[in-house]
Structure 1
Amino acid sequence: MSLASKSGCLACHAIDADKIGPAWRKVGDKYKSDAHGASTIASNITRGGRFGWNKSMAMPAKGAGRATEAEIAQLAAFIAALR
């Protein structure tokens, strides 16, 4: 969670509660049957967007621009494991 905090992710996301962005547990559940779920989540974080969530704001590219590719991959793996 320190990586998520450092990267600014927690301003819009939480593990179990929707905020500005969807709860990460919901994101993990969305991609649970995708063999490449962590890679898909990492790609989504990198490019930004809405990704089919019914949210008024799109996520900015690279989250808030404060995470490296390695950190994004680590965070995506964490999110993909949540269900």
Structure 2
Amino acid sequence: MKRIIPLVALVALFGCEQEVVPEASAATCAPAAFQQAIRELRNEANRKAFTQACRSFEKARQMRSWEFKPSSPDRY
């Protein structure tokens, strides 16, 4: 019983400390916030996941934004 308590305490300390990857949004993917979030992430896999999520967010935002461009006048 005396051996189990320190083991449980170690698991509680290190097992619950999971790094949370920020959600990709306009605020978190802005250049300054993105660099800060990358610096705070310790796990390389989490850095790659966040980078990929921001790239996907930016690509989706570019696809949604459009500008009306009228066609050239007919020359017939």
TM-score, normalised relative to structure 1: 0.27
Higher relative contact order, structure no. (Cα contacts within 8 Å, ≥ 6 residues apart): 1
Of structures 1 and 2, the larger Rg is shown by 2
